[in-house]
Amino acid sequence: MSRIQKTLSALKADNRQALIPFITAGDPRPGITVELMHALVKGGADVIELGVPFSDPMADGPVIQRASERALAHGVSLRDVLGMVAEFRKTDAATPVVLMGYANPVEAMGYETFAQAAVAAGVDGVLTVDLPPEEAEDCAATFKRHGIDPIFLLAPTTPVSRIQAVERLASGYVYYVSLKGVTGAATLDVASVAAKLAELQSYLSVPVGVGFGIRDPESARAVAAVADAVVIGSRLVQEVEAGEAGLATRLTEFLASVRAAMDTARR
């Protein structure tokens, strides 16, 4: 079992849901990313999604777009992000790390070269936003051969045929995008999410995490009542954008409030 699979299995056995925070690597500057990763773990993160900055982050709303712009202004590359993960691993060998980004940087490096470098750095999973399952056979096979979980997005509009394609390729977990639109969208309909999750879970053998629209402890608790994992990103990136003073502490405290709320979801 991968580090992700072990973590999610242990949580399930304890009737708890995974808390998966997202930040963009290199934002607000490269030298603070590892400190922020540790701050997320201190706040209760079970898995960390680390965004790979990209010049055209089409699935992301303005908050995460600006985070990519800030990181790219510092020249942060995919290899730099792998270096940050390797640094994080020097003092944390337990928390799974998922890289979330776009296909171009990975394809430019080459699947095999990237997979080798990712494993050496301590990466556990990769979510490539713009690589649909129909085009991901080679990529997913390469990742799995190296023990990396390929993670895919599903949306409210995803047809059954694509859900089944994802089931054939995915491991670790699947990321369900709870809203139509980009990251940071405002309104979350938990009843609709619950109905869709019931459908997805009839096809999928891997856990399902829910993201987009989760902004506070209350929405996280509501989603934790129906999902295997809660993904929270834009709200954390807003904290980063608010300024570096006290940033690590603010991330820890906010995430701890989310974790506490989630732990009441199924009591």
Q: Indicate the pairing of strand 208-211 with strand 149-151.
A: unpaired
pLDDT, tens digit, 9 for 90 and up, residues 130-150? 999 999 999 999 999 999 999
Residue 258 pLDDT greater than 50, yes or no: yes
Catalytic residue numbers, as ranges: 49, 60
Determine the Cα–Cα distance for residues 81 and 76; give it in Å rounded to an integer.
7
Is this model's pTM higher than 0.75 or not? Answer: yes
- For the record, the structure tokens of 192 come out as 């609709």
Helix orientation angle between 33-43 and 78-89, rounded to the nearest 10 degrees:
50
pLDDT band at 184 (very low <50, low <70, confident <90, very high): very low
- How far, in Å, are 52, 195, 196 from residue 191 at the CA level? 32, 6, 9
Q: Where are the beta strands (DSSP E) in 190-241?
A: 208-211, 229-232
pLDDT, tens digit, 9 for 90 and up, residues 141-182? 999 999 999 999 999 999 999 999 999 999 999 999 987 654
